[in-house]
A = this chain, B = another copy of it.
Amino acid sequence: MTKSASTPRPARRGKQRTVAPNDAPKEVDDWLGRNLSRAANTVLNRFQEVFSEYDMRPALYSALVAIENNPGASGAQISSWMDVPRTNVVILLRELEERGLISRGRSDEDRRAQSIDLTQKGRRLMPKLRTAHKRLEAEFAASMSSSERQLLNRTLRRIWQAGPSSAE
């Protein structure tokens, strides 16, 4: 069984910040890695809340988008498009198949490869997921100017694209 077949994770309790806001600047305030990790985690938490009714994780959602954007692609092609190691994509694909959102046939030309597509159930789900995702993005975009948001995404891409490709 997959874990995600269980009850959706309860949204984080929205605890109030009780810490006094007069915190002095800390040595760690400008650590890039720390700020990135914590920001990523904040977005992850909101993702789980926004998508709670769909029992959807970010990696699962991006796999669905990859499949929708590459109809009939093989797992290796999905892996390459997502830039995620094949070995980790396998788990996502199995889970999506178990949930009836994708189908995996055998390719005619290359009998090693699969031919992956959204099922009708999957195709029907996508617009709802996209709506939820747009809501999530808009929520964070609300606290930035448009140019600031674009610069942020460009800067972040420059950071991670400088590293080695994650696709195996």
Contact = CB atoms under 8 A, between A and B. Distances in A.
Interface of A: 12-19, 26-47, 58, 62, 65-66, 69, 80-83, 133, 136-137, 140-141, 143-144, 148, 151-153, 155-160, 162-167
Contacts of A82: 28
Contact of A38 (B38, B136, B160): B160
Q: Which of A39, A44, A148, A167 has the most CB of B within 10 A?
A: A39
A26 B69 contact: yes
As for how many copies of this chain the complex holds, the number is 2
Q: Which of A33, A46, A151, A153 has the most CB of B within 10 A?
A: A33
Given A39-B160, A58-B37, A162-B42, A140 B27 contact: no
A19 to B, nearest CB: 6
Nearest to A40: B36
The 5 closest A-B pairs by CB, nearest first: A35-B156, A36-B40, A38-B160, A33-B43, A42-B163
A40 B29 contact: no
B153 A151 contact: no
Contact of A14 (B31, B38, B144, B164): B164
A45 B37 CA distance: 12
A155 to B, nearest CB: 6
B32 A137 contact: yes
A44 B26 CA distance: 21
Nearest to A66: B28
Nearest to A23: B81
Nearest to A84: B38
Given A80-B19, A143-B162, A164-B15, A36 B32 contact: no
